[in-house]
Structure 1
Amino acid sequence: MQHTPNVISACPLGALYLVATPRAGQPQGEFLARLEAALDGGVDTLQLRCKDWEATPYIALGERVAALARARGVPFFINDRVDVAAACGADGVHLGQGDLPPAWARRLAPELLLGRSTHAPAQAHAALAEAPAYIAAGPVHATPTKPGRAPAGLAYVRAVAALNPLLPWYAIGGIDASNVHEVLAAGATRVAVVRAVLDARDPAQAASDLLGALRRMPA
């Protein structure tokens, strides 16, 4: 079954999506330097995720990250906060299942692209009907980014691939260079990562290695 979106994003989305979260106590300069290295290594879609931050520091950091992304033509999303996304000049906002409903987000900021998290086939069906710019499918593996959430596994990647969505979708959750090939074999063509790049000794090389795996995937 093929799902056709109602709208087509004017902002092309890449294959390697980095969800970037500053570590507790991490100097902002260090975080931005690692983020810049990741972008230079091949990250081609970017999200800033600062859970529980107040709006003012979130916007301030968002503006700096937006400038890095804009300089490279990389689409930039803010996690959860429509107000922060609009204020810092992001291209879009990523909404989880417990966040603001997409219809409400569109009323508040119709110019923003919307991304949507999904964790089960029913959620994927519902999200595709909402016509977001993309959906994320996972977590594929257990990840500290989502403590307490059972992994959806490769079976969920196969289920989303079987829907044959015409909009971009990303497998997410515990994906790194050691397991990306099995995720691609399950039907994903794009992946979202967190620790695999930002926590790497060399973020640029880690991003380059993952992007290389994506590009080597058989057509």
Structure 2
Amino acid sequence: MNPYRLYLVTDDKQNLETLKRVVAEAVAGGVTMVQVREKQGDLRTFIARALAVKVILQGTGVPLIINDRVDVALAVDADGVHLGQSDMPVETARRLIGKDKLLGLSIENQQQLIEAQSLPVDYLGLSAIFSTSTKTNIKKEWGIKGLTDAVAQSALPIVAIGGINTANLDAVIASHVDGVALVSAICHAQSPKQAAMNLLCQMGGEL
């Protein structure tokens, strides 16, 4: 199974109870990976939220990924960590988390895409495909052509993130990307379960 197919990234502005409900519903709807993202709170809050999600994911086979923080990933024994370009160097992170954990890296331009091919990472998060309200410091908007070219160039699996929703999903899937990462399309849906099911249905057998 492709773990990157429907990749939920949590909304750090939602409170703990909402977070737990969204993740539980989204997993029931078929999401294949969950990344806990925490840009606002302190370290204890991050660990508490990550542990709450870990409990929900137990026994589901859905990997728990921690955004940015290797220490939090180690503290909660997550399945992996996703790093940005200004976070810990991936070589250091790999040494700390070991070879069996998943390690993802955000890619914001062509040069980073080329350099990443020789790094000890499992997958790349191409950011951002479209401009989005949840990420305001976008370096590059890849668009569909940029995404398609990146997928063709990369030997590593690519997850597309940024502004993806049901309106543009068909074009994203046509790039043959390995997965799509979503925040608003699931977290802000009236029914995260139904939203995940609808997205997977729209993807069909493509990914």
What TM-score, normalized to structure 2?
Answer: 0.91
Contact in 2 for aligned 1:120/1:156 (Cα 8 Å): no
CA–CA distance in structure 1, aligned partners of residues 131 and 148 of structure 2: 17
| Alpha carbons 2:91, 2:120 under 8 Å: kept | no
The Cα of 1:128 is off from its aligned counterpart by 2.1
Residue 167 of structure 2 corresponds to 178
Q: Quick one: distance in 2 between partners of 1:28 and 1:184?
A: 32
Q: Structure 2: how far apart are the matches of 1:151 and 1:46?
A: 23
Match of 1:19 in 2: 9
CA–CA separation in structure 1 for the residues paired with 2:6 and 2:198: 11
Q: How much does 1:144 deviate?
A: 1.6
Contact 1:138-1:156 at 8 Å conserved across structures: no
Specify every segment of 5 or more residues in structure 1 that has no aligned partner in the other structure, as ranges.
1-10
What CA distance in whole angstroms lies between the structure 1 residues aligned with 2:178 and 2:106? Answer: 17
Report the Cα distance in structure 2 between the residues aligned to 1:205 and 1:128, rounded to whole angstroms.
36
Separation in 2 of the partners of 1:113 and 1:216?
Answer: 24
Offset at residue 164 of structure 1 (A):
4.7
Question: Which residue identity is paired with 1:107?
Answer: R
- Separation (CA, whole Å) in 2 of partners of 1:148 and 1:96: 12
Distance in 2 of aligned mates of 1:56 and 1:189 = 33
Task: Give the Cα–Cα distance (whole angstroms) in 1 for the partners of residues 32 and 183 of structure 2.
Answer: 14
The residue correspondences of 1:56-135 to structure 2 (distance < 5 A) are 56-110=44-98, 112-135=101-124
Distance in 1 of aligned mates of 2:152 and 2:63: 26
User: Is 1:211 paired with 2:207?
Assistant: no
Shift of 1:101: 0.7
Number of residue-to-residue matches in the alignment: 205
Aligned to 1:6: none
Deviation, 1:162, is: 1.2
Rounded Cα–Cα distance in structure 1 between residues aligned with 2:105 and 2:27 = 22
SS in structure 1 opposite 2:75? helix
Q: 2:22 aligns with which of 34, 44, 50?
A: 34
Question: Counterpart amino acid of 1:127?
Answer: A
Describe the superposition over 1:159-218 as per-residue Cα deviations: whole angstroms up to 9, x where unpaired: 2121152x322111100111100111233241111100010111111111111222343x
Identity %: 36
Aligned to 1:154: 144
Is 2:158 the counterpart of 1:169?
yes
Distance in structure 1 (CA, Å) of the matches to 2:87 and 2:137: 18
- 2:174 is equivalent to residue 202 of structure 1: no
User: Where do 4+ consecutive residues of structure 1 move more than 3 Å?
Assistant: none
1:7 corresponds to: none
Determine the C-alpha separation between the residues in 1 that align with 2:4 and 2:152. 21
When the two chains are superposed, the root-mean-square deviation of aligned CA atoms in Å is 1.8
Inter-partner Cα distance in structure 1 for 2:40 and 2:115: 27
Contact 2:9 2:36 in 1 (8 A): yes
| TM-fit CA distance, 1:67 | 1.8
Alpha-carbon distance in 1 for matches of 2:130, 2:71? 31
CA contact (8 A) 2:34 2:64 kept: yes
TM-score between both structures, scaled by the size of structure 1: 0.87
Give the gaps of 5 or more residues in structure 2.
Answer: none
